Structures are given as C-alpha cells and as structure tokens.
Structure 1
Amino acid sequence: MSKHNPKEHTRPIYMATNGLRDPDWRWRLAVSSAPVTRTTRRPDAICWHLVDYLASGDEWITSLDGTRRFSIRPLLAIQNDRLKRLTLESRVLAFRDITVAAEASRVPVQVAHDYCSIFFDVGDRLHAVRAIDSKIIHAAGHRDDIVRRELYWHAYFGGPLVAEHWLLHLPFVGCEAEHDLETPEGRQREQLELTMASREPGPEFYDSKLLPVYQQLLDREPKRRPYAECVQDHVTDALEAYWRSEPTEAARKILHSRIAA
C-alpha cells in the first residue's frame, strides 16, 4: 500500500469547474505536464494541444467546442505585451463582456475569446466578487505589480468609465516619470500615482519635501465640481465618440443608451 503524500492536497486543482482556479489554469497545467503521456488525464482538448505546443512547437490549438483550430501566436503576442495584456484584461473586468472588451481594445473578437480561454478564463465567474478579488486582482503571482492591482481593482469595482480613465494614463504611471502639474493630464496622472502610493505608502510618501507638490494638486482641484465628476465627463465623451463611430450590438447591450446610441 502506498503511503499518503500530504503534498497531494496542496497542489492546484486544474479544472474548469473550480471557482478558485487561476485565470491561466490551462496554460499552467500544460507547463506542469510537459512532457506527458497519452494515459495522463487532461480536462479538455486545449490542454492537450498546449502540451503539444510546449513539447514540439505545434502552434495550432483546437477550440473548446471542437469546431475550429486557431494559432496560439496572436495570444502569446498579447500575453507577452504588458500594455496590451493589461488593457484587454482590465476591460474584461470592467465591461463584464469579452466581446465589448475586444472591440474597445481593437483586438479581433475571436482572438480575445481564444486568449481568455487560455490566459484569462474568468468569463463564468465575473459575478463572483471574492473569487475575482483573490485570484485576479490580488493574484499571488502578481503580488508586487501595484499598477496591475490598482488598475484591475478600479476597473472591476468602478466599471467602464473608471477603467478608461486609468487606461488613458496607464503608459505614464508607475514608471517613476515626472508629471507636469501645470497641465490637466499631468495632474490627473499624479492623482493616480498618489492613489497607488496611498495603498502601501513607503517612507518617501511622508517626506515633508513633497508637501508643496500635494498642495499644488489640491490648489488645482476643480472648485465647483468633484474631481471624479470631471473624470466621468471626460471619459463619457471619449466613449460616446468611439461607440458612435463604430456602433455594435454588444455595445448597445452593455453600455448606457446615450453612449451606445
């Protein structure tokens, strides 16, 4: 009789029905399984083809419904490009719809769905707040990525308007860039930097030398209307212009009628 191995209970459960699975569980399973024999049990065809790709370089993957084959290369291009990856994934969290997120990110819809099936499998649990918060927003593998965490948190809990504001400034925040406080864009980016810093403030956050900078931000804060309302107006106008230029059925279902009309 074989001895009980306590480590068996600590291994990740790689199954589509596991509500606390990692978003890239299929990819993780393939990586942990290669090389593998045909007697090894795998949840679905995608997992088998990912193992084949890692073992032999065969880039063609069979879809979940078995009706078509797609190349993994466009998906890896998104996964390996930080800006593209954060943009698409945060919009999925914000819009709660992969098709709308793909259209807003100018990613082919089918590519976005294929990407999510392998690297961001969250479509069936976007309503599960605790699962999204623990496994996506505060994912253990991205513990040190403050920008990702704050972007995903604001996208999921704030919705499309908040997400679009963060994405507008995403290339300029979290990279130790100097922001011009004489411009609206610079002040907005500094606001986001302060938002992130306030979550886990380091010693430099309380540096008295920075007080004049904070005071400049407060002095330039809109006097008549809250900052959040100004952001909402700005992003609403941008979204309205985009959806009017390229209206879609998905947009009409998800977005406010004034934006999607």
Structure 2
Amino acid sequence: MSTDDLRMHHRFKLGPAWRWLIAKSAAARGDVQTYVRYGPEFWQVFDHLRGAPFVSRTQDRVDHLLDVQATERIFCDPMMRLQVEARLLARLPPDAVAAACGVATQIVLDYCDVFFDILDNLEAKTWLAVHIFDPKDRPVSDLHAFVCHASYRGGPMVCEYWLAAIPHLDEECDLSTARGREIKRMQLALMLRRIEREAPKRLFEVGKRTGYLSRRQARRFSSLSDLMGKRSAQVLGKFLSAEKVALPFVQSENDSHINVGGKQQSA
C-alpha cells in the first residue's frame, strides 16, 4: 500500500487525527509493520511518543521536522484547539489562522499533519459530520462541535463571532438589554444542540426500561399456545373476510366447541 493510499484509507476510517491514532497504537504495542509505507510524518510522531530523538529511517523522512510537541500542546488545550480547528473549518488559510491564534504558520501546518488532516478534504461534508460535527463517540465538547459546525457553514465571520462570544456564555443574562438577549440566544442555541444529541439516547434508554413508548399497552402472550391461537384467529379472519360467501361468524367459545353460523359444533 502506497503512502497516499494508506492516508486515504486511515483518514476515511479514523478521522482527521488518524496519524496520531495510528502512531499512538504502534507506540503502545512497541512495534510497527515495516512493510507499510507510513510516510515521514508518521515516523516523527511515533518517535515523539516513544520519547526517542528524531532519527532518519528513510530518505524522505527528513524533508521537514515536525514540531510535534507544539502541536500536542494545541491539541490538549480545549480553547486553543477550538480556535485553530474552527478557523480552518471556516476555510481561512493556514497563515491567517496562525496570525489570529498567535502562533507560527508552520505550527498550524504541523498541527494539520498530526491532528487535523482536513485541508484537502473540506468538501467531504458527510466525513466531517461523522468525525467532527457529530461523532459517534463523545466530541471534545458540545461547544466545540457546535462552533466547528457553525464555522464550517457560516464562514470566517460566523467563526469569529462565536469565538469572541465564548468567554461570555456563562454570564448572567439581562434580557432587558440587547447584549443580554444575544447571550441568551447563544445559550439556547447550545442547549438545543445538546438536546438534539442527547434526546435519542435518552428515549432509547427509556424504551429499554419500559418496553414500550406509546400509550397503548404492549401485547403480551402468556404462552406459546396463546400466541399461536391469536395468530390463527387473525389468519382465519382475513381468509373469511376475503371469501365471497362468508359464514356469519366463527368465534371460539371454549376449548371444546365453536359457533359456526350460530350453530354449536364440536371442535
């Protein structure tokens, strides 16, 4: 498998942080599949996780030294991570993202290589939704997922609007002022996001506990014979209703007799 094929495969499956995840798994195992062409970025992340100095293993491994330590600091800082990722998703170029975040442009590029490999995949809306906006596992936070999604949909202006508002989201809202109403509007938008994410899980848990969610009581059968008897009655009813000349009724009275056209017959 070529380096490009490997990147496409793992990025599709694992998301933007695929290099970090693969290198972390390999470092935990203590071995690497030598026949796979991982590429220079992987080996630098792998060496960083092992605590080893950078060592050249292939000729193409030394084309650029990643500052893995600086990128990891961004990744582990929730607010800094959100600022970088939201601006990249808003389609700002890396140099503009770097200037807004107060870091070097190369650090932003290194961050994309290690943790956020999306620059050439920004049109993959479903992939972004699965791995960033609404991942199956828990996102960094509801705020992170919401702001990233809003930035992607609204562009740089919406992105900067939300990033500037984040420090004020915990403030008390005076609804008599325009600022208070705006803060409350943002709080409600985040609450709606949380409800939309959590409600299906809660309904599923309630359904498992109660067995049924509608007002109508769930059908229960005391035995297999009861189940078969009810099923036979349903089938027979459909058959009789389809006949041109149907008997007046067929009704079970007890275990030994039935009524056929008003006359009692032995079962």
User: So what's the TM-score if we normalise by structure 2?
Assistant: 0.61
SS at match of 2:66: strand
Cα drift, residue 198 of structure 1: 2.1
One of 2, 12, 15 as aligned partner of 1:20: 12
Cα 1:139–1:42 shift into 2, 3 Å: farther
| Structure 1 residue ranges without an equivalent (≥5) | 1-13, 203-261
**Which residue is equivalent to 1:76?**
72
Q: Distance in 2 between matches of 1:187 and 1:72?
A: 42
**For the pair shown, which has the larger CA radius of gyration, 1 or 2?**
2
CA contact (8 A) 1:20 1:135 kept: no
What is the distance in 1 between the residues matched to 2:55 and 2:71? 11
The answer as to 2:148 corresponding to 1:152 is yes
Following superposition, the deviation at residue 185 of structure 1 comes to 3.9
1:165 to 128, 153, 161: 161
Report if aligned partners of 1:97, 1:123 keep a CA contact under 8 Å in 2.
no
From the superposition, tell whether residues 160 and 37 of structure 1 become closer, same or farther in structure 2 (CA, over 3 Å).
Answer: closer
- Give, in whole Å, the separation in 2 of the partners of 1:186 and 1:135: 34
CA contact (8 A) 1:59 1:72 kept: no
Q: Residues of 2 paired with 1:147 and 1:186: CA distance?
A: 19
CA 1:67/1:184 → structure 2, altered by over 3 Å: closer, same or farther? farther
2:98 to 84, 97, 102: 102
Name which of 178, 182, 186 aligns with 1:188: 182
How many pairs does the alignment contain?
A: 186
Tell me, yes or no, if the aligned pair for 1:93 and 1:156 is still in contact at 8 Å: yes
Q: Quick check: 1:121 aligned with 2:117?
A: yes
Cα distance between partner residues in 2 of 1:27 and 1:192:
33
Deviation per CA, 1:25-70: give whole Å up to 9, x if none.
00000111111147352421211222221123437899x8843323
> In 2, are the aligned partners of 1:31 and 1:54 still within 8 Å (CA)?
yes
Native 8 Å contact 2:132 2:139 kept in 1: no
Q: Name the SS for the 2:34 alignment partner.
A: coil
Structure 2: which 5+ runs fail to align? 197-267
The answer (yes or no) to whether the contact 1:95–1:101 under 8 Å persists in 2 is no
Over 3 Å counting, the alpha-carbon distance change for 1:135 and 1:38 in structure 2 is closer
Give yes or no for contact 1:42–1:48 (8 Å, CA) kept in 2. no
State the TM-score, normalized to the length of structure 1: 0.62
Matched-pair identity in %: 27
Query: Does the 8 A contact of 2:17 with 2:117 survive in 1?
Result: yes
Residue 67 of structure 1 corresponds to 63
CA distance in 2, matches of 1:17, 1:98: 22
